Amino acid sequence: MNYTENDICNIVAEQRKFFRTGTTLPVKWRLQQLKKLKAAVIAHEIEFEDALAKDLGRSKVEAYLCDIGPIIVEINEMLRGLRRWSRPERHFSGFMCFPSMVTKVYKMPYGVSLVISPFNFPILLTIGVVAAAMAGGNTVVVKSSSKSAASTAVLKKFFAKVFHPEYVTLIDGGHDVADMCLAQRFDKIFYTGSPTVGKHVLSEAAKNLTPVALELGGETGNWCVVRKDADLKDAARKIAFFKLCNAGQICININQIAVAEEVAEPFLQELKQAFIKQIGEQPVSNPEYPKLITEGAYDKCAKLAEEYRNRIVFGGVGDKDIRRYAPTLIYPVDINEHIVQHELFCPLLPVVPFKDAEVDSLMETIADREHPLAMYLFTKDMKWANRVMQTQQYGGGCINEVCIHMMVKGVPFNGTGHSGMGAYHGEWGFREFTHPQTVLKGKTRFNLPLREHPYGGEVGEKKLKILRLFER
């Protein structure tokens, strides 16, 4: 469908009209919709797998591991916790408010929300965010990526079949359609994608003072630091798995590795062996290995690899017809080269050597750049690792592990600065899509005249003494 601005305006108007009926407010009704969503995801699993294979070359196992399974886990957490999360908080008002001693905080939905989802995890990062918006009691307009065309087509039919359009509806199309959506007055916007587009979303939202959550990749990329005391085989195994996943097209993936030069050579050997063991010596011809999303993405990756051709120590080959490019190690790379100062979003993996004794200087350089969405440390020095993790600014991360921090239930997934704002997953997603409204219940009797005029003379002095007593 070719949408016009009037079409989108009408969709938003119908959703606002539906929201104002109050249908989405009861928690019981929200739970029913989440159950319906979960059942539909399970019923459409094969369709989702096929779409992910067409768009990104995902195998069934990777499709379930990265998209479908996490959605089911996420919805299950919402089903278990929603009644507790949505319960109004009861607070003691304080003696300053006497005799009105009870205040409540209600968790109210924003209203009509816009979810703009990316191409790299088109099922997870659409349905997962929609579920959070539903748990909060909102209606949802989804603008999905035109790059992942097969997944968008399946999702459009999926939402149309499961929900009425005044509750949840999906709009497809390119950047022009996204801009038409952003021109509308929504009550909440959730965008997942690049920092560059994130700035545009934030700018458009500002015109209507619409609150925004941004999940971005980080402009200067996510660092993985491997110190000389690290278990090199373990680190290599985990890093190889992660870089192979979705062919590196993951917002929290390792953008570059900093490895202590004392162990750089043996580490590179371990990493090469780990890649070969997991994907074989000819990854481009392995049907399990995912592909890049578009020819443009492939060309960008291949062009950058050619620029560093004389420093490629592993990989460096691809097949444009099937959009697969091998996992590629580039070594050595200086920390100030441009390849480690922007997000790659592909299978290229530059490796930066550093002296282990100068690791704190390395971390200072990283800290001076834009905040990454993720950080990974491999070391046996837990004192150092804990200090780094508690002083650096980043979205989230792991010590001696990769990526699975985002799979932990009950914790937020978020970015900071150029890697995003806001948070979601479980209760944090519910919080992101609700506004806490404070309501004090006043009394009509025994109200003291402390706050009322007069403030001068002897009466004022007495009031001041009582006020100071209450404020201690």
What's residue 294's pLDDT?
Answer: 98
CB atoms inside a 10 Å sphere around CB 22: 10
Q: Does a cis peptide bond (omega within 30 degrees of 0) precede residue 211?
A: no
pLDDT attached to residue 447: 87
Angle CA(338)–CA(344)–CA(347) in degrees, nearest 5?
125
Q: Which amino acid is at 46?
A: I
Q: What is the mean pLDDT of residues 261-276?
A: 98
Q: What are phi and psi of 107, to 5 degrees?
A: -95, 95
Lowest mean pLDDT among 101-110, 119-128, 301-310, 444-453: 444-453
Q: How many Å apart are CA 472 and CA 467, to the nearest integer?
A: 9
At residue 448, the pLDDT reads 82
Which of 102, 140, 78, 23 shows the shortest CA–CA distance to 431?
Answer: 78
Sign of CA dihedral 431, 393, 194, 203: positive
Summarize the confidence of residues 454-466 as an average pLDDT: 90
> If residue 171 lies in a helix (H) or strand (E), which one and from where to where?
strand 168-171
Hey, where are the domains in the chain? Answer: 5-218+421-435, 223-369+374-410, 442-470
Give this prediction's pTM. Answer: 0.95
Distance CA 100, CA 103 (A): 8
* Three-class SS state of 146: coil
Averaged pLDDT, 29-50: 98
Residue of 127, 226, 228, 117 lying closest to 172 (CA atoms): 117
For residues 214 and 194, give the distance between their C-alpha atoms in angstroms, rounded to a whole number.
9
Sheet containing strand 89-92, edge to edge, reads 89-92, 102-109, 434-441
Give CA–CA dist 25/37, Å, rounded. 17
Place of tokens 């965008």: 191
**DSSP-derived 3-state class of residue 259:** strand
Give the pLDDT band (50/70/90) at residue 472. Answer: low
Q: How far is CA 131 from CA 43, 51, 60, 128, 422, in A?
A: 17, 20, 23, 5, 16
DSSP assignment letter at 338: G
| CA dist., res. 173 & res. 2, Å (int) | 8
Q: Which of 49-63, 389-403, 444-458 has the lowest mean pLDDT?
A: 444-458
Give the DSSP H or E segment for 109. Answer: strand 102-109
**Angstrom distance (rounded) from CA 126 to CA 121:** 8
Give the percent of the chain with pLDDT over 90. 92
Q: Can you tell me the distance from the alpha carbon of 446 to that of 225, in angstroms, rounded to the nearest whole number?
A: 64
Task: Quickly state the pLDDT bin for 219 (edges 50, 70, 90).
Answer: confident
Q: What is the pLDDT of residue 466?
A: 85
Report which secondary-structure segment, H or E, holds 200.
helix 195-206
CA dihedral sign, ordered 378, 384, 385, 389: negative
Which residues does the annotation mark as catalytic?
215, 251
Nearest of 35, 121, 107 to residue 70 by alpha carbon: 121
What's the CA gap between 196 and 145, in Å, rounded?
A: 16
Other CB atoms within a 10 A radius of the CB of residue 2 amount to 7
Is residue 445 classed as helix, strand or coil in its secondary structure? coil
d(CA 24, CA 137): 5
Q: What is the mean pLDDT of residues 60-87?
A: 97
**pLDDT at residue 218 in the model:** 81
Distance CA 267, CA 214 (A): 35
Fold for the domain defined by 223-369+374-410: Aldehyde Dehydrogenase; Chain A, domain 2 (3.40.309)
* Class of the domain covering 5-218+421-435: alpha beta
Counting every residue written for the chain, the total comes to 472
What confidence tens digit (pLDDT) does each residue in 279-308 have?
999 999 999 999 999 999 999 999 999 999
Q: Are 397 and 374 in contact (CB under 8 A)?
A: yes
Averaged confidence pLDDT in the chain: 96
From the list 160, 162, 188, 136, the residue with the least C-alpha distance to 24 is 136
Contact 93, 84 (CB under 8 A): no
Binned at pLDDT 50, 70 and 90, residue 449 comes out as confident
First to last CA, the chain: 64
The answer to whether the beta carbons of residues 120 and 250 sit under 8 Å apart is yes
Torsion of CA 178, 183, 187, 188, to 10 degrees: 30
Confidence of residue 255 (pLDDT cuts 50, 70, 90): very high
pLDDT, residue 463, reads 86
